[in-house]
Structure 1
Amino acid sequence: MLFAELCYQIFEESTACYHVQDCVDAEMENPYEYKSIEYYLFLKNWVDAVQWHLEDVIRDPDIEPVKALEIKRRIDQLNQRRTDLVELLDGYFWDKYKNVRILSCATVNTESPAWAIDRLSILCLKIYHMEQEVQRREVAQIHVKECDDKLSVLLEQKRDLILAINQLLGDIETGRKYMKVYKQMKMYNDPELNPVLYRKGQGV
């Protein structure tokens, strides 16, 4: 099994496990060895699933402002965790391919392997939820048909993305492409870079 297929298999497993309780506060039971690449892939999708459902909740037009702020801050924390996990996964690839001889004609990709895998995790969640919409029986058939059409596009996107990720990893492994990893510099989370936060510290 190629790596992208492994990723998607684990993402499907994580998505299914999350929806057993379908609760943003449910405790994750990760079946993989702690700190293995499979463990982090499962965790990555779980974090995405929790954030996905919190994004649903916060769009409730009747939500209380205090509750909305609480959820928004939790979403921010999850988004930072998601970024941290992507960088951890890129560290795995960086170490794995560090001794590859890079060809003189090698090029750099527009995104790192882990950010492409991040897209695959979100796509898995999109497919799961679109399948749920297709299976609804209390809605008009036009809704079901529209969702079924969207599902077909998502499944095509899944095939294309899996192929692209495997091709990218193959190119890196053979030196036809090389990795460059840029740390995500999210200024709003940094008390030394967010003006609102550092001005408070300065008493401004």
Structure 2
Amino acid sequence: MITHTAKRIFEKAVDDYHIKDRVDQPFSNPYDTDVDFLEHLLYRKAWIDTVQWHYEDIIRDPQIDPVAALKLKRQIDASNQERTDMVEYIDSYFLDEYKDIEPNKSATINTESPAWALDRLSILTLKIYHMEEEASREDASEDHRLACQQKLDILLEQRVDLCTAIDTLVKDIRNGDKYMKVYKQMKMYNDDELNPVLRGQNKK
């Protein structure tokens, strides 16, 4: 099942990041595109999400220098675009994988593509990792740890449900009961021609 692979790789990427736990650490993908193409994409996706998770932590520091915050905001924007690009690469993999499947006449479309569902699983992996940290943090109060453990239990249940839904979706696509139709995100804020502020700057 696809989520067995995705869950394993997402967890590996999160664990690997936290060995150094620095947003500026160099990235190295352990999966070869010629041998493990999907694994390569999933690992890269999870790494992007993990770095951005920590970007979001840093930028919420009330004492952050405004110049540093602006630079970090630009990094978050770039990371968001890279995250979207990776989702679309992963969906391209699924489109190619099932391009020869003829949908049944009764086949229906899903509210989200397999890759966007896997995006949710990647973020959920991060939530679980950090909630586990909080639930066992020795310098936190007992009440804090108990509250975090309760949240962790819900997140773990949510992961089971999400994995079941993703595997069902992929199975339905493979069987012709669902069909894929992917729309590009068409983000406008990073585009020099679509963002009126950037377009105005280019005319000066």
Seq. identity, % = 54
CA distance in 2, matches of 1:114, 1:20: 27
Mapping of 1:182-193 within 5 angstroms?
A: 182-193=183-194
Q: What displacement does 1:29 show?
A: 2.6
Q: Which runs of 5+ in 2 are unaligned?
A: none
SS at match of 2:94: helix
Q: What displacement does 1:147 show?
A: 0.2
- Match for 1:74: what amino acid? Q
**Would you say 1:29 and 2:28 are equivalent positions?**
yes
CA distance in 2, matches of 1:102, 1:136: 50
Q: In the alignment, which residue of structure 1 is the partner of 2:6?
A: 7
Q: What displacement does 1:144 show?
A: 0.4
CA distance in 1, matches of 2:190, 2:45: 20
Stretch of structure 1 that moved more, 145-154 or 24-33: 24-33
Mapping of 1:1-204 within 5 angstroms?
A: 2-34=1-33, 36-203=37-204
Q: What displacement does 1:202 show?
A: 2.3
Stretch of structure 1 that moved more, 164-173 or 31-40: 31-40
1:94-133 deviation line (CA, Å, top 9, x unaligned): 0111110111111000000000000000000100000000
The number of residue pairs the alignment matches comes to 202
Q: Which runs of 5+ in 1 are unaligned?
A: none
Q: What displacement does 1:91 show?
A: 0.2
Q: What displacement does 1:196 show?
A: 0.3
1:121-157 deviation line (CA, Å, top 9, x unaligned): 0000100000000111111111001000000000001
- Match for 1:72: what amino acid? K
Q: What displacement does 1:34 show?
A: 3.0
Stretch of structure 1 that moved more, 95-104 or 29-38: 29-38
CA distance in 2, matches of 1:125, 1:201: 38
- Match for 2:134: what amino acid? E
CA distance in 2, matches of 1:47, 1:101: 34
CA distance in 1, matches of 2:63, 2:127: 25
SS at match of 1:189: coil
Q: What displacement does 1:28 show?
A: 1.9
TM-score (norm 2): 0.97
SS at match of 2:130: helix
Q: What displacement does 1:9 show?
A: 0.4
